[in-house]
Amino acid sequence: MKECGAKVEHRIWNPRSERMSSDERAQLQLERLQATLQKVSRNVKFYRRHFEEIKFEPEDLKSLSDLSRLPFTGKNDLRDNYPYGLFAVPLREVVRIHSSSGTTGKPTVVGYTKNDLDTWAEIVARMMTAAGVTADDVVQIAFSYGLFTGGFGLHYGAEKIGASVIPSSSGNTKKQIMIMQDFKTTALVCTPSYALYLVETMEEMGVDPRSLSLKWGLFGGEPWSERMREEIEGRLFITATDNYGLSEVMGPGVSGECLCKNGQHIAEDVFIVEVVDPQTLKPVPEGEWGELVITTIHKEAFPVIRYRTRDLSRMMSDQCACGRTNRRIARIKGRTDDMLIIRGVNLFPSQIEDLLMKIEGVEPHYQLIVDRINNLDTLEVLVECNEKMMTDMVRGLESLQKKIENEIRELYQVGAKVRLVEPRTLQRFEGKAQRVIDKRKL
Ligand code: DLL
């Protein structure tokens, strides 16, 4: 067991569920998986048909490893069954509906029964407790409240803990800061990119983050890097943790870091997480990187079997110093569909972010523009430099630009053109950041 550097008390919301032995957990997962398969094969035509095609009866599932015999479910299956085709209960039992927009086509629709909402609040309460939040905290939720699962999902978990919840929702950045000052917010919940935007706006407004009551930052909804964590923690004077989820399987709460900040504990009594090779779709050896595939085992309205998330991570099964036994996933590296292939080289925006964050003189705001000119892929990296750098001589800027270009080439074998832009000129985001413009698809 690795020592945890955090000098804090590790509170656990539900020790019964978060400290199970691996045998106990496997038994619970098996029972819940069997019940889920029975239910979907009875109530959801899509799954019944899939099971028939491979001559699978729910009773055939004798062990957790049998799950890998079942077909995957993808975003398109959700779209094809829009809006309610995959619901496993009549609409009368559904008390909440959310939806995820995506970039193209019909949105996907997900539903929750009363019990599902309880389960959701429970796993978010666990995740928030792991990230330091208690009943004494004032939690500002700057995720949008609406069809997106971020706002409402995190809200009910925070209330369950007994924290004082401020549903400030997204946008209105100056007002968010005023609320933070006046209401004495101690925990900020939003995307990591919005946290940075908030700090920047504070600086513009002349608000010293040290004068606030902020202690915790719970960030998720988009990929970010370890460097970005350091940046946020250093500028906001808080402890920042990462949490993950997706609407198709529930929303936020699927996994979250504890204060050891070394992987996100999965709510394993509600989800079974597999890691597969995105090409072969076979499970990867324990601990290797691959795509997360998630099966819900404790949901009524909208159970999903083997949902392909497209998110890349790896399983961490060593014992965590916080005392939880739930296995963890590593920080999400990116999505298989975010991966840029530039002249045959695979590159994730998070890799560029990681590199930029280590370079003196630039701000953590960047944009990648990919194009195809004369049949050759090109990558342009727009990076904001900081005020100090901008006032230095032009020669300094040129050498900074070359330095970044060289590092990208050396580290990732990609030729990129770097363009330094003035501070605060790239777009800021109140929700999820859009870092890539791929003109090749236009
Ligand atoms: O983003 C749910 C959520 C809200 C999670 C707030 C955490 C906090 P969707 O809109 O369905 O749901 O988007 C899900 O966002 O498949 C990932 O690609 C990405 N994502 C979410 N959290 C993280 C994270 C919500 N911590 C998609 N790190 C997922 C990296 C994340 N990517």
User: Which residue has the least CA distance to atom 29 on ligand 1?
Assistant: 246
- Supply the DSSP symbol for 346: E
User: Pairing between strand 376-385 and 416-421?
Assistant: parallel
pLDDT at 4: 79
- The contacts of residue 283 (CB under 8 Å, 6+ apart) are 68, 274, 275, 276, 277, 290
What's the CATH number for 340-438?
3.30.300.30
Exposure on the CB side of residue 234, measured as CA atoms within 13 A = 8
CA distances from 386 to 216, 234, 325, 351, 362 (A): 26, 16, 43, 21, 5
CA distances from 124 to 189, 260, 280, 294, 330 (A): 12, 18, 33, 17, 18
- The contacts of residue 234 (CB under 8 Å, 6+ apart) are none
What residue has token string 């004082």?
164
CA distance 100 to 110: 8
Ligand 1 midpoint to CA 159 (Å): 21
Ligand 1 nearest atom to the CA of residue 309, by list position: 16
> For each of the chain's 442 residues, which pLDDT tens digit applies?
666 777 778 899 999 999 999 999 999 999 999 999 999 999 999 999 999 999 999 999 999 999 999 999 999 999 999 999 999 999 999 999 999 865 556 789 999 999 999 999 999 999 999 999 999 999 999 999 999 999 999 999 999 999 999 999 998 999 999 999 999 999 999 999 899 999 999 999 999 999 999 999 999 999 898 988 999 999 999 999 999 999 999 999 999 999 999 999 999 999 999 999 999 999 999 999 999 999 999 999 999 999 999 999 999 999 999 999 999 999 999 888 888 888 778 888 988 998 999 998 898 899 999 998 877 889 999 999 988 877 776 678 888 999 999 999 999 888 999 999 999 999 999 989 999 998 986 5
pLDDT at 316: 98
Ligand 1 midpoint to CA 399 (Å): 37
Ligand 1 nearest atom to the CA of residue 254, by list position: 5
Which amino acid is residue 265, in one-letter code?
Answer: H
Ligand 1 nearest atom to the CA of residue 245, by list position: 5
1-336 matches 340-438 in fold: no
Tell whether ligand 1 has an atom less than 6 A from the beta carbon of residue 220: yes
Tell whether ligand 1 has an atom less than 6 A from the beta carbon of residue 149: yes
User: Domain locations in the chain?
Assistant: 1-336, 340-438
Helices (H), 237-280: none
pLDDT at 7: 73
Tell whether ligand 1 has an atom less than 6 A from the beta carbon of residue 251: yes
Residue 292's beta-bridge partner residues?
A: 275
Ligand 1 midpoint to CA 293 (Å): 14
CATH topology of domain 1-336: Rossmann fold (3.40.50)
Tell whether ligand 1 has an atom less than 6 A from the beta carbon of residue 222: yes
Which amino acid is residue 105, in one-letter code?
Answer: G
Ligand 1 midpoint to CA 409 (Å): 30
Tell whether ligand 1 has an atom less than 6 A from the beta carbon of residue 252: yes
- The contacts of residue 407 (CB under 8 Å, 6+ apart) are 355, 359
User: Pairing between strand 264-266 and 328-329?
Assistant: antiparallel
* Per-position DSSP letters for 19-48, written without gaps between them: S--HHHHHHHHHHHHHHHHHHHHHH-HHHH
- Supply the DSSP symbol for 148: S
Predicted TM-score (pTM) of this structure: 0.90
CA distance 79 to 85: 9
CA distance 259 to 14: 16
CB 108 within 8 A of CB 102: yes
Tell whether ligand 1 has an atom less than 6 A from the beta carbon of residue 246: yes
